[in-house]
Amino acid sequence: DADVTQTPRNRITKTGKRIMLECSQTKGHDRMYWYRQDPGLGLRLIYYSFDVKDINKGEISDGYSVSRQAQAKFSLSLESAIPNQTALYFCATSDPGIQNIQYFGAGTRLSVL
């Protein structure tokens, strides 16, 4: 089983719909992240959480919200999806060591029509 699991893997939705992307991890890490990937732009940080009570905005948080339900679960919501939120979304966790290595899920491909 994957250490970082994202569901769904693919989703097509319509403008204005509310969407939730889920992430769960079995690595026991406290730190979790949500990124989006767009062609030619690399990965951009949406939100990050250092523990259940510590949630922070990243560089592109507008239009998104998150919930850290437990140490192992971190979900990303699009309250009212718009077409420019069409992207590949990744969840990641990081280890507590000084190297701060991040471990990624397989991604969710979201299309907003």
β-pairing, 108-112 vs 10-13, is parallel
Report which secondary-structure segment, H or E, holds 102: strand 102-104
Q: Which stretch binds another protein (CB under 8 A): 13-21, 39-47, 63-71, 72-80?
A: 39-47
Size of the site for another protein (CB under 8 A): 21
Position among 45, 55, 57, 73 found at the interface with another protein (CB under 8 A): 45
Q: What is the rounded CA–CA span in Å between residue 1 and residue 59?
A: 31
Residue 1's closest CA among 72, 70, 74? 72
Our CB check for another protein shows the closer of 71 and 103 to be 103
Which residue in 13, 86, 102, 111 binds another protein (CB under 8 A)? Answer: 102
Choose which of 56, 82, 83, 113 interacts with another protein (CB under 8 A). Answer: 56
The answer to whether residues 87 and 110 touch, using CB atoms and an 8 Å cutoff, is yes
Binding footprint of another protein on the chain (CB under 8 A): 4, 40-43, 45, 48, 50, 56, 58, 90, 92, 99-107
